[in-house]
Amino acid sequence: MSIAAFMFRRGASRGDAKRNAATAYPAGVVCKADIRYGPEAKDHLLNVYYPEGTTGRIPTIVSIHGGGYVYGDKEVYHFYCADLARRGFAVVNFNYRLAPKHRFPAPLEDTNRVMKWLTVCADKYHLDPERLFIVGDSAGAQLASHYAAIAKNPEFARLFSFTVPEFSLLALGLNCGMYDLPAMVQGRITGIAADYLGRRFDRADPRIDVLGAIGENYPPSFLLTANNDFLRENAQPMADFLSEKGVETVCKCWGTEEKPLGHVFHVDIRLEEAAEANDHQCDFFRNYL
């Protein structure tokens, strides 16, 4: 593991633990925890959330957690995903294999495993593969954008070893993310990029050219960021790129000079601005139901 990944893990884990210790679980939301979706006892676990009293299938959000490909799990996003479910969705919150032990494309393979599990277990957990949305933040936003390109572009999908199951991906929520993966491997591959891809990764590998695989059938996308988000500069260029491709896109930034907001602020459901941002994103999703 790189020094950058070690320092990132340490800082992020402290901040996430502090935030979650002060957060209350939303009332009226059921959580079905620690469901196995793949062969690994820890890495392939997921939670499902839905409103109390739910019957039948309801619109479903799959959340891909952030953490620079080297950190994070479903517990970090427990309150956030429950809060999304409070808005009338079933929400799938899952662990995936992390770098550097598991490198690219392991998180994409695991996302596909979740999608296969979802199509099989839909009725049991009120999930609807025909009304499906994906959200992700930070590295999770990159993974969400990447998997959506695979799901929507059969030629791109053939570059991967897995087969995408049948589902209808209606829209994406791309939050505080980085989207140009080849930009990570310009020059010498170091730090977290090396943890995820490997120092000797082939820069010409077409599997990382996500932007090159995006066409007009790419899902409508809602991008959010914050004025003190260290990845803020990636949001508007991605929104402009999608719009130029004919993809319906919204890009919003939260935070003011008096009240600056940082990276993945929307996960802290105690914040008024997080509630507003998540409301806006879910309203965007409802436009496609």
Phi, psi (rounded to 5 degrees) for 42: -105, -45
Bridge partner residues of 224 (DSSP): 175, 252
Number of domains forming the structure of the chain? 1
> In the predicted model, what is the mean pLDDT of residues 211-215?
97
Give Cα 104 to chain centroid, integer Å: 16
pLDDT of 186 higher than 90: no
pLDDT of 1 higher than 90: no
What domain range is 11 assigned to?
Answer: 3-286
Let me know the angle formed at the C-alpha of 148 by 136 and 171, rounded to the nearest 5 degrees. 70
Six-digit token string for 158: 């053939």
The DSSP code for 91 is E
What was the pLDDT predicted at 189?
87
Question: Quick one: CA dihedral 111, 116, 118, 124, positive or negative?
Answer: negative
Whole-number percent of the chain with pLDDT over 70: 100
CATH code of residue 57: 3.40.50.1820
Q: pLDDT category, 191, cuts 50, 70, 90?
A: very high
pTM, two decimals, is 0.97
Question: Quick one: CA dihedral 285, 286, 287, 288, positive or negative?
Answer: positive
Six-digit token string for 157: 């999908």
What was the pLDDT predicted at 27?
97
34-91 confidence digits (pLDDT tens): 999 999 999 999 999 999 999 999 999 999 999 999 999 999 999 999 999 999 999 9
Bridge partner residues of 250 (DSSP): 222
Amino acid in position 48: V
Report which of 187, 198, 46, 67 is spatially closest to residue 127, judged by C-alpha positions.
46
Report which of 31, 60, 65, 61 is spatially closest to residue 48, judged by C-alpha positions.
31
109-124 confidence digits (pLDDT tens): 999 999 999 999 999 9
What is the C-alpha separation between 48 and 61, in angstroms, rounded? 10
What is the C-alpha separation between 45 and 113, in angstroms, rounded? 11
CB 233 within 8 A of CB 194: no
What is the C-alpha separation between 250 and 226, in angstroms, rounded? 14
